């Protein structure tokens, strides 16, 4: 039930929550319980929890308009008096601090927390339907509130997927009334056999998906009207409605699928976005997408693009960016040669001490390694410069919303992380850059670690800004030896000293010893930085520690081969203490131009 106008200042009637429990029987009859009533206090608590969450998440001046629109929608949706809005505005002020526990406890005492969260998803999608977009800040808000309420994020994503599936079906094919009723009946009969108990509840137009044995069950017979409001559902049948849903999913043309740059931009020779095959199947478009960006290639086949991301399962719709393949293959071959040379020299004991004191402590680089620097310096410099332009081009794609008006997560390693860095930097200079990107993950990023640079990204990114770094990445240090070291250091080697709730530094030193290890250990890295991966790749043993299960059978990398030839394996505490002290002492002065400039 959505409100078509402002409520009055008088005390509102208790809001009914229709808790329907379906029990599959031979006749597939629905059995209903008595409605549960939300008191004014519970409704106020819901709004207050939302306001406090907005205060925590989006207390910047550029988010003020969104915050006000969001809380206005929630207050109207809950049929609270409009005088309550002023109280909510006070709760959203940046200098206001108040805990959420009391509000959560009150809501819990009267209603199922899942029903509240599902209503928020429905409300956000309703707002998205009206505006033709699903703002990333809505999604971050809902996920944050679910964590506050200790509700599994996957349940919230199930709500999204079910709503998205319904919207996709409506967009793909405009159903007649008879077809809609027939599809509804078939869905009820099929799903009633699959699930033993399924709860359906409605709060002002939002449907609650019940949970059986901890698993979220899909909607049964839930019409689009109950999901996004009756008037919005009716509009779907119109030409305008179809256009709006197309805008939401990026259906004009083919969205990102098969996007290819036909006109050369600057020095860029290749820029193409391709879709991964869905790991979970299904054809409906989700309300969130992910784009993965590689750092270098072993060859120009599709397999080389896809291989590092085989464990990625962050969204039902995932893409990868193909760019400048010819140059990235050259870089990949150069890196392979450098590592092969290092292993060979270690075997001959020529680097017995220089590996330790030169590469790790950076006191002096081995002259034999410097002699081969031209092998990698040129392709590295070329790829660094092109990554900047590719990042700007990606920013244009996202700002024009070719992907639709849905939240995007960007994930990249090495030069792929550099692409993301310059994409964010470009977007931060543009108007209307907010609400497009949910999360970004930069792994082993060869770019500046300057705090001021990264602080600009807080305007663009609604959720997390993840910097995955390795303190033992000697190749990244070697590649920066001839560059003017950025004032804030190199992001892929250190923490970013940015105090913001979005900033998340993840030390990958225990996983990655050298730059070339990022692709082969990507699934393990993604799991550590909080990106969903395919469960089959990340099985845990009931008897062994988690890290042992992941690493015990892994083939030794070339970096490990090189460094372990003359270095006895220390205990974990000894290893990390040594590498921390030695790497923190790294100071490289240089004098050539930086491709970042």
- Reading the block at residue 372, the tokens are 């081969």
- DSSP strand pairing (198-203 vs 206-209): antiparallel
| Higher pLDDT pick, 269 / 409 | 409
Average pLDDT, integer, range 538-554: 40
pLDDT at 261: 54
Q: Structure pTM? A: 0.72
The count of domains in the chain is 1
Is 269 a domain residue? Answer: yes
**CA 398: distance to chain centroid?**
15
Residues 6+ apart with CB under 8 A from 108: 149
Checking if the pLDDT of 534 tops 90, the result is: no
- Reading the block at residue 244, the tokens are 């709006």
Is 46 a domain residue? Answer: no
Angle between helices 101-110 and 40-57 (to 10 degrees): 140
The 10 Å Cβ neighbour count of residue 205 is 22
pLDDT at 246: 55
The Cα-based distances of 422 to 380, 480, 493, 564 in angstroms read 17, 18, 18, 36
Residue 159's nearest CA partner among 288, 4, 30 is 288
**CA 362: distance to chain centroid?**
35
d(C-alpha 45, C-alpha 30), whole Å: 32
Residue 308 region by backbone torsions, left for phi larger than 0, else alpha for psi between -120 and 50, else beta: alpha
Yes or no: say if 228 and 122 are a contact pair by the CB < 8 Å rule.
Answer: yes
d(C-alpha 132, C-alpha 563), whole Å: 54
Collapsed DSSP state (helix, strand, coil) of residue 597: coil
Is 83 a domain residue? Answer: no
State phi, psi for 71 to the nearest 5 degrees.
-70, -30
The 10 Å Cβ neighbour count of residue 102 is 12
Checking if the pLDDT of 20 tops 90, the result is: no
Residue 414 region by backbone torsions, left for phi larger than 0, else alpha for psi between -120 and 50, else beta: left
Domain that holds residue 381: 259-584
Average pLDDT, integer, range 290-303: 90
- With tokens 């409704």, the residue in question is 43
Provide the percentage of residues in the chain whose pLDDT is more than 70.
57
Out of 234-248, 491-505, 517-531, which region has the weakest mean confidence (pLDDT)?
Answer: 234-248
Q: Kindly report the average pLDDT of the chain as a whole number.
A: 70
- With tokens 């024009």, the residue in question is 400
The one-character DSSP state at 295 is S
**DSSP secondary structure letters along 23-64:** ---TT--EEEPPPEEE-HHHHHHHHHHHHHHHHHH--SGGGH
State phi, psi for 173 to the nearest 5 degrees.
-150, 120
Residue 563's nearest CA partner among 333, 265, 292, 359 is 359
Yes or no: say if 474 and 360 are a contact pair by the CB < 8 Å rule.
Answer: yes
Is 201 a domain residue? Answer: no
Residues 6+ apart with CB under 8 A from 519: 294, 295, 307, 308, 413
The Cα-based distances of 75 to 5, 45, 57, 111 in angstroms read 11, 11, 19, 17
pLDDT category at 37 given cuts 50, 70, 90 is low
The Cα-based distances of 394 to 285, 379, 426 in angstroms read 21, 22, 9
- Reading the block at residue 498, the tokens are 């940015």
Checking if the pLDDT of 291 tops 90, the result is: yes
d(C-alpha 399, C-alpha 437), whole Å: 10
d(C-alpha 192, C-alpha 26), whole Å: 10
Half-sphere exposure of 126 (CA within 13 A, CB side): 29
Residues 6+ apart with CB under 8 A from 574: none
pLDDT category at 195 given cuts 50, 70, 90 is very low
Is 282 a domain residue? Answer: yes
- Reading the block at residue 93, the tokens are 């002020």
pLDDT at 373: 65
pLDDT category at 42 given cuts 50, 70, 90 is confident
How do residues 320-348 score in pLDDT, each as one tens digit? Answer: 999 999 999 999 888 888 777 665 655 44
Average pLDDT, integer, range 157-171: 73
Q: In what order do the strands lie in the sheet with 503-507?
A: 259-260, 271-275, 318-323, 289-293, 408-413, 437-443, 465-469, 503-507
Yes or no: say if 331 and 304 are a contact pair by the CB < 8 Å rule.
Answer: no
Select, from the ranges 286-300, 334-348, 405-419, the one with the highest average predicted confidence (pLDDT). Answer: 405-419
pLDDT at 377: 76
- DSSP strand pairing (318-323 vs 271-275): antiparallel
- DSSP strand pairing (289-293 vs 408-413): parallel
Is 233 a domain residue? Answer: no
| Higher pLDDT pick, 59 / 372 | 59
Checking if the pLDDT of 133 tops 60, the result is: yes
pLDDT category at 367 given cuts 50, 70, 90 is low
The 10 Å Cβ neighbour count of residue 377 is 17
Question: What CATH code is carried by the domain that includes residue 268?
Answer: 3.40.50
d(C-alpha 221, C-alpha 304), whole Å: 44
d(C-alpha 467, C-alpha 479), whole Å: 19
d(C-alpha 121, C-alpha 117), whole Å: 6
Residues 6+ apart with CB under 8 A from 165: 282, 284
What's the helix, strand, coil split of the chain in %, to 5? 50, 15, 40
pLDDT category at 2 given cuts 50, 70, 90 is very low
pLDDT at 290: 95
- With tokens 């923490």, the residue in question is 495
Checking if the pLDDT of 276 tops 50, the result is: yes
- With tokens 């597939």, the residue in question is 28
Is 235 a domain residue? Answer: no
Average pLDDT, integer, range 512-529: 93
Is 273 a domain residue? Answer: yes
How do residues 212-231 score in pLDDT, each as one tens digit? Answer: 222 222 332 334 444 444 44
């Amino acid at each position: 039930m959505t409100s078509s106008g402002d409520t009055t200042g008088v005390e509102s009637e208790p809001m009914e929550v229709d808790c329907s429990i379906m029990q599959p029987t031979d006749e597939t009859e629905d059995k209903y319980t008595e409605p549960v009533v939300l008191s004014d206090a519970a409704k106020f608590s819901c709004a207050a929890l939302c306001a406090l969450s907005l205060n925590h998440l989006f207390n910047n001046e550029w988010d003020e308009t969104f915050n006000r629109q969001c809380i206005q929608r929630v207050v109207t949706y809950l049929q609270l008096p409009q005088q309550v809005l002023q109280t909510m505005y006070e709760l959203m002020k940046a200098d206001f601090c108040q805990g959420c526990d009391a509000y959560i406890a009150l809501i819990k005492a009267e209603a199922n927390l899942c029903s509240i969260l599902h209503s928020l998803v429905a409300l956000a999608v309703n707002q998205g339907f009206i505006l033709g977009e699903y703002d990333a800040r809505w999604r971050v808000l809902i996920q944050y509130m679910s964590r506050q309420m200790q509700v599994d994020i996957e349940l919230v994503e199930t709500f999204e997927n079910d709503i998205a599936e319904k919207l996709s079906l409506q967009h793909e094919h405009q159903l007649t009334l008879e077809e809609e009723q027939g599809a509804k009946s078939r869905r009820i009969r099929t799903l009633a056999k699959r699930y033993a108990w399924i709860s359906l509840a409605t709060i002002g137009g939002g449907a609650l998906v019940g949970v059986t044995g901890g698993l979220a069950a899909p909607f049964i017979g839930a019409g689009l009207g109950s999901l996004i409001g009756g008037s919005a559902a009716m509009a779907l049948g119109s030409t305008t409605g179809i256009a709006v849903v197309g805008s939401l999913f990026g259906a004009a043309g083919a969205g990102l699928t098969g996007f290819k740059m036909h006109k050369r931009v600057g020095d860029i020779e290749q820029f193409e976005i391709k879709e991964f095959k869905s790991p979970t199947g299904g054809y409906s478009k989700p309300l969130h997408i992910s784009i993965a960006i590689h750092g270098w290639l072993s060859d120009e086949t599709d397999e080389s693009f896809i291989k590092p991301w085989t464990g990625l399962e962050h969204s039902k719709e995932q893409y990868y960016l193909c760019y400048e393949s010819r140059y990235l293959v050259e870089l990949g071959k150069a890196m392979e040669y450098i590592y092969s040379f290092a292993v060979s020299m270690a075997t001959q004991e020529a680097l017995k001490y220089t590996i330790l004191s030169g590469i790790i402590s950076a006191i002096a680089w081995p002259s034999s390694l410097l002699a081969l620097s031209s092998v990698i310096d040129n392709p590295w410099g070329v790829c660094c410069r092109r990554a900047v332009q590719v990042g700007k081009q990606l920013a244009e794609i996202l700002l024009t919303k070719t992907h639709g008006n849905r939240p995007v997560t960007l994930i990249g390693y090495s030069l792929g992380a550099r692409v993301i860095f310059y994409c964010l930097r470009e977007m931060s200079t543009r108007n209307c850059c907010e609400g497009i990107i949910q999360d970004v993950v930069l792994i082993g990023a060869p770019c500046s670690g300057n705090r001021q640079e990264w602080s600009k990204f807080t305007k663009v990114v609604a959720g997390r800004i993840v910097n995955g770094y390795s303190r033992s990445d000697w190749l990244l240090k070697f590649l920066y030896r001839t560059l003017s070291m950025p004032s804030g250091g190199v992001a892929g080697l250190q923490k970013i000293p940015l105090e913001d709730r979005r900033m998340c530094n993840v030390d990958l030193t225990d996983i990655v010893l050298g730059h070339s290890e990022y692709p082969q250990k990507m699934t393990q890295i993604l799991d550590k930085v909080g990106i969903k991966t395919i469960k089959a790749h990340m099985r845990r043993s009931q008897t062994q520690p988690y890290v042992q299960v992941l690493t015990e059978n892994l083939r030794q990398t070339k970096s490990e081969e090189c460094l372990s030839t003359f270095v006895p394996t220390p205990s974990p505490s000894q290893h990390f203490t040594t590498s921390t002290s030695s790497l923190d002492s790294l100071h490289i002065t240089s004098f050539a131009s930086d491709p970042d400039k």
